[in-house]
Copies of this chain bind each other. A is one copy, B any other.
Amino acid sequence: MSSGLTERRQTILKLVIQEFVETAQPVASETLVRKYRLNVSPATVRNELAALEELGYLMHLHTSAGRVPTDIGYRFFVENLMDRTTLSLPEQRMIRHQFYQVRGELDQWIQLAGSVLARTAQNASVVTPLRSADRLRFRQVELVAIHDTMALAVLVFHGGVVKQQTLALDAVRSPDDLRRCAARISSVLADLELSDVEDLLTRDQQQEGSEFGDFERQVLDLVARAMDAFEAQAQEQIYSDGLIEMLSQPEFIPALAREDAERAVERMRRALDILKSGRGLGSLIPQALASDGVQVIIGGENSADEMREYSVILARYGVERAVTGVLGVIGPTRMAYPRSISSVRYISSLMSDLLAELYQADQRSPES
């Protein structure tokens, strides 16, 4: 009966997916014929649908319900059937403008990207902060007086990664004091990794007379602690947004989902959990960091069981070999893939471009 994926079957598959993505209702043969003016009868379409089902691209919830795409169906759609669109120019312009307005505030880029992704894809979004491609390497520290007894330590690492940390002073220090101390430590620690810094600290401790003053010691400890904390949390930080957008999808609205309301609530709760804890995304993000282009993970294809009903679209952003992060969209497998993918692609490349401008100098003269 099934003689492979003929052209017509592909067309029908495409229509089924488009229809299902739009309406969130199982698709019936007659609907297809009527809505898309196919020049065949519903019965013919039914035969084709049955074949597509046998091939694994569609499925049936019950005997007398319309068809719903399987993960395999979506995969084929994304790979071969989808129209490759881009965001409209006005949309692009608007997004660029928003990024322009927060230029200079890198932290805000992350929030902005998350919010734009969520709005354009009408689903949840995830964004990880920029991270050095390789180990954190110290560059310099500046100490800024905030009070008589409080200073802000600004730690700068290679690749432009910055971390600030408040520091309670044991005694009143003049700005000159602070500057001298910062300069000393900057030169001592320049280009070192965390392990080097720790070595240096233990070595100094073993000598009878320390090479450093009390205050310098304090700052050194702070640096080591900060680097440690930074590396530890490097993998884990995921910013997410668009919960509301995702939860407005029919999957989470019992009346429309035509199913037990409790299941919808349970699903909602699990979705929250995924976004908050990042569970289920954990393995996907390193993978996306290591890949080029836009990654699409459909349903349970690649990850934990709890992600079986969700798709994830990820792309890397940043400056290659310097600092990179990952951003993307997450939502029910019934998702507007073309639009979500365009959105992820556009925003990742926009951010990469903007970052490249900032990092230009570094790329021209890569250090060691």
Binding site for B on A (CB under 8 A): 103-106, 140, 142, 144-150, 152, 154, 156, 160, 162, 164-168, 172, 222, 243-244, 247-248, 252-255, 260-262, 264-265, 268-269, 272-273, 276, 357-362, 365
Contact = CB atoms under 8 A, between A and B. Distances in A.
A179 to B, nearest CB: 8
A144 B154 CA distance: 8
A262 B255 contact: yes
Select the residue from A144, A147, A359 with max chain B CB neighbours within 10 A: A147
B252 A104 contact: no
A162 B146 contact: yes
A162 to B, nearest CB: 6
Contacts of A252: 265
Nearest to A363: B147
B272 A261 contact: no
Contacts of A248: 269
Contacts of A276: 243-244
A361 B150 contact: yes
A91 to B, nearest CB: 23
Copies of the chain in the assembly: 2
Contacts of A361: 147-150, 172
A156 B168 contact: no
Select the residue from A103, A144, A222 with max chain B CB neighbours within 10 A: A144
B265 A166 contact: no
A172 B364 CA distance: 13
Contacts of A261: 254, 260-262, 264-265
A108 to B, nearest CB: 9
B172 A156 contact: no
A150 B146 contact: no
A306 to B, nearest CB: 14
Contact of A265 (B148, B165, B253, B360): B253
Contacts of A144: 140, 142, 154, 156, 162
Contact of A150 (B142, B147, B273, B359): B359
A359 B147 contact: yes
A232 to B, nearest CB: 12
B244 A168 contact: no
Given A104-B168, A255-B262, A261-B254, A148 B365 contact: yes
A272 B244 contact: yes
A32 B40 CA distance: 70
Select the residue from A104, A152, A269 with max chain B CB neighbours within 10 A: A104
A242 to B, nearest CB: 10
Nearest to A242: B276
Contacts of A149: 358, 360-361
A106 B268 CA distance: 33
26 contacts: A103-B168, A104-B165, A104-B167, A106-B166, A140-B144, A140-B145, A144-B154, A144-B156, A147-B358, A148-B361, A148-B362, A149-B358, A149-B361, A150-B160, A150-B359, A152-B156, A154-B164, A166-B358, A168-B358, A243-B276, A244-B269, A247-B269, A253-B265, A260-B261, A261-B262, A264-B265
